[in-house]
């Protein structure tokens, strides 16, 4: 559970996330049970950067209907990670 690569699931690439990157903020989908401290440690160890702050959002699950079948789309946790000035994450930049 504490494996950094299990905590950080994937970067989020959207218009908003792209704009935020200008202020050195990166968005990730993270393990729902992870807290800010775990996320900070995971990011620092995977990308070798210094994290300034972490903010998280619990994206709620939503009811979805496919014809007859009523279901729910899973909720998930999103994290906005602000890096210390001067640091950047290449992999995300290049996607």
Partner 1 sequence: MKTNVTEKGQWGREIEVEVEASRVEKELDKALRKYQRQLEIPGFRKGKVPLKVVKSRFGESIRGEVIGDLLPALLEEATREAGLVPAAPPQIAKLDHEPGGDLTFTATLDIWPEIEVEHYEKLDATRMVHEVADEEITEQLEELRRRQATEQAVERPLEKGDVLIADLQRLDEGGVPVIGERFEERYFLIGDENAPSPEFEEGLVGMSAGEERKVSFAYREDLPNEELAGKTEHFDVTAREVRERSLPELDDEFAKDVGEQFQTMAEVREHISNQIQERWSYMAEQRLRSDLVGQLIEKNEFELPESMVENYLKSMKREQQAQGQAQGQAQGQAQGQAHDHDHDHDHDHDHDHDHDHDSEHTDEEREQAVRRLKSFLLIEGVRKQAKVEVTDEEFETFAAERAEQGGIKLEEMQRSGRVDDLRRELEEKKVFDLLGEKAKIKEEKV
Sheet order of strands, 76-83 included: 8-11, 25-30, 76-83, 51-59
Tokens linked to 78: 């999103």
Smaller CB separation from partner 1, 40 or 77: 77
- Closest contact distance (angstroms) between CB of 78 and partner 1 is 13
Interface contacts to partner 1, rule CB under 8 A: 12-15, 17-18, 94-95
- Closest contact distance (angstroms) between CB of 76 and partner 1 is 15
Q: Is 68 left (phi over 0), alpha (psi -120 to 50) or beta?
A: alpha
Distance in angstroms (rounded) separating the CA atoms of residues 22 and 39 = 21
Smaller CB separation from partner 1, 18 or 61: 18
Smaller CB separation from partner 1, 20 or 44: 20
- Closest contact distance (angstroms) between CB of 2 and partner 1 is 29
Smaller CB separation from partner 1, 24 or 45: 24
- Closest contact distance (angstroms) between CB of 15 and partner 1 is 5
């Amino acid at each position: 559970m504490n494996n950094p690569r299990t905590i950080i699931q994937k970067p989020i690439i959207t218009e908003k996330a792209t704009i935020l990157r200008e202020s050195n903020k990166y968005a990730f989908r993270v393990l729902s049970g992870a807290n800010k401290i775990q996320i900070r440690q995971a990011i620092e160890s995977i990308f070798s950067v210094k994290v300034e702050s972490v903010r998280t959002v619990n994206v709620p699950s939503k009811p979805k209907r496919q014809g007859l079948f009523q279901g729910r789309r899973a909720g998930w946790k999103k994290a906005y990670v602000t890096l210390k000035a001067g640091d950047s994450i290449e992999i995300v930049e290049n996607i």
